[in-house]
Chains A and B, each alone.
Chain A
Amino acid sequence: MRLRSMLFAVVALLLPATSQAVPSFARQTGFECVQCHLSWPELTTVGRQFKLGGYTLMKEVSGERPWLPMPMSEEQPRIPVAAMLQVSLTHTENTAGADASEFPRNDAAVLQQFSFFYAGRIVDHLGAFAQWTYDGVEHHSSIDNVDIRLAGRYEGDGGEIAYGLTLNNNPTVSDIYNTTPAWAFPFASSNVAVNPNAATLIDGGLGQQVVGLGAYAMWKNTLYAEIAAYRTADGAFSIFRSGTDKSTDAVLNGTAPYWRLALQHVWGEGVHSAMVGTYGIDARRFPDSLDPTGSTDRFLDTGFDAQYQYITDLHRISAQVNWIRERQTLDGSFPSGAASNPSDTLKTFRGKLTYYYDRQYGGTLGYFRTSGSSDDALYNTGDPVTGSVTGSPNSSGYIYELDWLPRRDVRVAAQYTAYRRFNGSASNYDGFGRGARDDNTLYLIGWLMF
């Protein structure tokens, strides 16, 4: 009863928003959100082209452009700004006997996130997607994803090549598909729920801590390639990690190469699209961010991914799968005892299937699995709830999500995460009697873009 009243409160809070308010990309192009997104933020073929073009595609101007977004103006503003608000409620299955600090704000409605965007064309061929986020639980704001692009196009006898440069602060944020970690499902998740301990480095482990310069090209709308080099975002580049915790931010030794190769095909006059690809990063990280000296840990991450989309006005279907294999060579952590083994392997798999009816009502079924070498020092905190008595990184489960978009800029979603295994086991995984199912989470979110 309490959950239902909270959901109604979230919906009621969001409904009064003005219907003229749309994000900056839509204002710049005149597009409806659903032209670039299967359902935001998942990109369609049009959305991928817009990103390849460096966020610069802009419709012809027919009148005086306001400097900032104006509800009554038909013209795109000169400064492409937008904002996002997320209000959520998290219910964890079993919190009895656990330290209350492990489950902050459980069963309470929270202002999860407020983001401000500079997103759109800066000048001919140069555009940006830059996000600054306030975390309503931590009461702290910091930089979020940033992707600044310089784009061009070459048309020759061999076909069209769309190419460009990207300067960004998160490996895979520059990617145009929704399989790689930065833009993969779930597109929103609880920031107060307990999560498994193990994740590969490329899966969020470097976001808003590094800066990378990359070059990309799409040949004949078929073959996509990107190469980039990432380094610690310090010195002149520290703006790319503004507001983050320097004591835990990754510090890399030298540059880390990132690569991406994808083969895509669009057919049926754009109704169908499919992609298979591979990507990866080779990074050397100092174990202690406050003392970046001595030996480093090497993470070699290799990913394989695939995606299919079927898009019509009435029915929209998409499927994504993503495998990542990480080889950890722990020359820095093992001698100090921060890792139990000199080397480990970590593997993750994620897959999801989505269906939307009339671009308004949607459902997604997701599956995730992490497995790899047991390493007590790496994966066992020794504490209730977050510990792993086996030292195993193995976790798996399903995510069920229902979405409703009453308007193009409003999303209301209910997401349930069901764990089959958590930090190594289905039962008594922490050594204090807690089972994987105890961490099952119901997450309700109201999400507004404007």
Chain B
Amino acid sequence: MDKTQACMKRREVLTRGIGLAGASLLGIVICARSNAAEKSSKAALLYQSHPHDGQHCSDCKYFTAGGSDSNSGTCALVEGPIDSNGWCMAFSRKS
């Protein structure tokens, strides 16, 4: 390969690289606009309806209570109704 060919090859690789990086960046920026949470299933995080070692959902930072007369609420990480007395492996005590 002579010098001119090598130079053209480098330019081609550089152009393709920049094009690919630009397209990837554009795709990432478009995708990143989505705000929807992607939650875990209960089974994946070993959710149970009773506490573990003194830890229960009502003390967890991800839990939101459903109402004053209900033990049920929702979780920012786990899908479905959540028992305030329950527990899963994502438990994180409220600070």
Contacts and interface: CB of A to CB of B under 8 A. Distances in A.
B31 interface: yes
Interface residues of B, number: 31
A263 interface: no
Contacts of B49: none
A58 interface: yes
A196 B41 CA distance: 45
B40 A122 contact: no
Contact of B44 (A58, A162, A239): A162
Contacts of B41: 153, 155, 160
A67 interface: yes
B28 A79 contact: yes
Contacts of A30: 61-62, 76-77, 92
Interface residues of A, number: 38
Contacts of A61: 35, 37
Contacts of A118: 28
Contacts of B37: 58-61
Interface string B16-60: 010010000001110111111111110111101000110000000
B35 A65 contact: yes
B22 to A, nearest CB: 13
B89 interface: yes
A266 interface: yes
B43 A221 contact: yes
B46 A124 contact: no
Nearest to B36: A124
A290 interface: no
Nearest to B35: A61
Interface string A112-127: 0000001001111110
B90 interface: yes
A31 interface: yes
Contacts of A124: 34, 36, 38
A224 to B, nearest CB: 13
Contact of B77 (A59, A125, A153, A159): A59
A57 B39 contact: yes
Contact of A123 (B31, B45, B92): B31
Contacts of A58: 37-38
Contact of B38 (A121, A162, A269): A121
A126 B36 CA distance: 13
Contact of B46 (A53, A67, A153, A269): A269
A79 B27 CA distance: 11
B46 A266 contact: yes
A32 interface: yes
Interface in B48-95: 48, 52-53, 61-62, 76-77, 87, 89-90, 92
24 contacts: A30-B62, A30-B77, A46-B89, A46-B90, A49-B40, A49-B45, A58-B37, A59-B62, A59-B76, A60-B76, A61-B37, A67-B32, A78-B33, A79-B32, A122-B28, A122-B31, A122-B32, A124-B38, A126-B31, A162-B44, A221-B43, A269-B46, A270-B46, A270-B89
Given A155-B43, A242-B17, A269-B87, 9 more contacts: A30-B76, A30-B77, A32-B92, A35-B90, A118-B28, A153-B44, A162-B44, A239-B20, A269-B53
